[in-house]
Structure 1
Amino acid sequence: MTSHSAEQSSSTNIWRNRIIGVVAVIAVLVVAYFILASFIPRWWAQRIATMSGHGSFAKGIWSGLGLGFFCTVIPLFLLLSGVVVWRRKGGRFLAGCAAVLALVVAVPNLMTLTIVWGGSGAAHAGERVLDVQAPGFRGASLIGAIVAAILFLLALFLRMRGRWRTRRAGRHRRDSSGSQAPAEPADVERNG
């Protein structure tokens, strides 16, 4: 009886420690979110303003197009490569690495979204900074992301079409190389 109660007590302690650990991680994540939500939009807007030449419309547009395009197309192709290798040996690890790398490369677009879609005071301050010191950046970033998505969809379509054609050609070769069945009597009567 004593060993049973010791095992039950040990199991209870393990679950209690797990619950405390999960609550602590959630609390740290919530605090980090609020700190970053008030910091990231302002900081990112200032970085973009510096990159865009503090008010240069042309530099704002080109930097927006570049970041929007490359920070969309690279993550999409990384995710596609992760899907392609998923079922291979060691593929899950490679797919996980591709997903993490895709997220890292997409961070500039995600930070821009915190400014555009954010409702906090920091997001509004970031919008004002971008409007004055990086004009054209937000719209150009959106255009770059859309062009990247269209390019990705086109590449995906071409890849799938090539696979369909390869499969169809393989089926056609198998069908034509096999012996053909003799015509049924009903077919002979119709043809004759």
Structure 2
Amino acid sequence: MRADQTGEPAAGPDWRKRLLLGGGALAVLVAAYFILAATIPRWWAQRVGDAVRGHLSTGLVIGLAIGVSCTLLPLVVAWIGLHKRRSWKAVVGWLSLAVLLALPNLWTLSVVVGRGSAAHAGQRVMDVNAPWFRGATLVGAITAVVVFVGVLIFSRTRRGRRAKAAESAEREA
């Protein structure tokens, strides 16, 4: 047993306090999930519907822009955060930023695949006020993933060719 400066035995962690705090935090997270699941899809569909205003071409352009940017930027940020060895706090920070940048895509996904009444209301709003938005967002997201993977593959093969060229130049010299 450890002793502090006064000679009294040092107290270990208070597990009851930790369990109560953890349980309270879990209860808050569960409540927040249900509140957000009941509000976010409807709110997001209204925002998108206000921006698109029922125009097919506007839904297409905004959907593509959100799909590409809110997929490509989070992928790049996550790659930066995970590419080099960093402290766990830095990794959590980079990944949190990536999730923050991906929120519009995640909100659209909550409308598309959600099963609650808010998701169904959001689907109806997007059907009328934001045509082509959901499909264009999907196309934009897929395009962004393909571009990201293509750039990674191209940069690795290009680096490999440069390394081989440098190696053969060293042999000749």
TM-score, structure 2 length as denominator? 0.86
Q: Percent identity?
A: 40
Alignment of 1:98-109 (within 5 A): 98-109=94-105
Q: Which amino acid aligns with 1:23?
A: G
Unaligned runs of 5+ in 2: none
- Tell me if 1:143 matches 2:139: yes
| C-alpha distance in structure 1 between counterparts of 2:168 and 2:91, whole Å | 34
Does structure 1 residue 25 correspond to structure 2 residue 21? Answer: no
**1:131 and 1:7 mapped to 2: Cα distance?**
67
Match of residue 41 from structure 2: 41
The Cα RMSD (Å) is 2.2
Bigger CA drift: 128-137 or 94-103? 94-103
Secondary structure of 1:73's match? helix
Look up the match of 1:165. 161
Provide the TM-score with structure 1 as the length reference: 0.78
TM-superposed deviation, 1:118: 0.6
Equivalent AA in structure 2 for residue 100 of structure 1: S
Counterpart amino acid of 1:21?
L
| Count of matched residue positions in the alignment of Structure 1 and Structure 2 | 167
Q: Distance in 2 between matches of 1:94 and 1:38?
A: 32
Contact (CA 8 Å) 1:81, 1:95: kept in 2 or not? Answer: no
Code of the aligned partner of 1:75: P
CA distance in 1, matches of 2:21, 2:76: 36
Give the secondary-structure state (helix, strand or coil) at the position aligned to 1:119: coil
Rounded Cα–Cα distance in structure 2 between residues aligned with 1:94 and 1:174: 39
Matches within 5 A, 1:97-136: 97-136=93-132
